[in-house]
Amino acid sequence: MNTALVGILLAALWSTGRGGWSTAVGSVLGITGFVASWFAADDRVALIVFHVAYLTFFILIAGRLLSYVLGPGRVDGTRVAAAVSAYTIIGLAAGFVFSFMAMFRPDAFGDATPAMQVRDFVYFGFVTLTTVGYGDITPVWHPARSFATFVSIGGQMYLTVLVARLVGLSLAHAEPPRAVASQPDSGVEAGIEPSG
């Protein structure tokens, strides 16, 4: 799972740019997070590196995708796919923030927190981002509650702003309607029968 995730995210990173510093930094972050994940179960420092590297990696990729999505140009399938990808990566990032909080505050999400793993917090991140809110995981620590509120409001704002931007771009690049060749007025439209 971890290998597939890193591969997909590196492909996203490389596809959104033409090289440069952000591609190099993103590659280093992704690979660092991947390697740290091997040692994260036994070493607290590796667990911190794992969270920080992946979280920064997610933010970098989401930023690159959003700059493309919200930038000028026609709305096409690639732009819509990039918008969906950015939303998904924001959900992953939220899950990693929740997991990072629980690492430093074991009771941040109630009694179940110590038994939870990163995948549980990623699930909670998506449930919160989409405002489904099943209630099976509940933040009880004030900063965790505040961040959950931020994620749920941010998820809704993302969708509304994104739809507005894509509709605006679509209208800006739409071809103007063609003028219909006018026919001589026969009076039929007004309900007058032509004599003849």
Domain ranges of the chain: 2-171
d(C-alpha 113, C-alpha 102), whole Å: 7
Task: State the pLDDT at residue 77.
Answer: 86
Q: Which residue has the tokens 């994940």?
A: 37
CB 52, CB 58: distance < 8 Å = no
Task: State the pLDDT at residue 153.
Answer: 96
**pLDDT tens digits, 99-145:** 999 998 988 998 777 778 889 999 999 999 999 988 889 999 999 99
Number of neighbours of residue 59 by Cβ within 10 angstroms: 16
CB 97, CB 139: distance < 8 Å = no
Q: Which CATH number among 3.40.718.10, 1.10.10.60, 1.10.287.70, 2.40.40.20 corresponds to the domain 2-171?
A: 1.10.287.70
**pLDDT tens digits, 23-72:** 788 888 888 888 888 888 788 898 899 999 989 989 988 988 898 888 88
- The DSSP call for residue 43 is -
**pLDDT tens digits, 146-178:** 999 999 999 999 999 998 988 888 888 777 777
pLDDT grade, residue 7 (50/70/90)?
confident
187, pLDDT greater than 60: no
Count the helices and strands in the chain (H runs, E runs).
Answer: 6, 0
Q: Provide the sign of the torsion angle of the four alpha carbons 182, 187, 191, 193, taken in this order.
A: negative
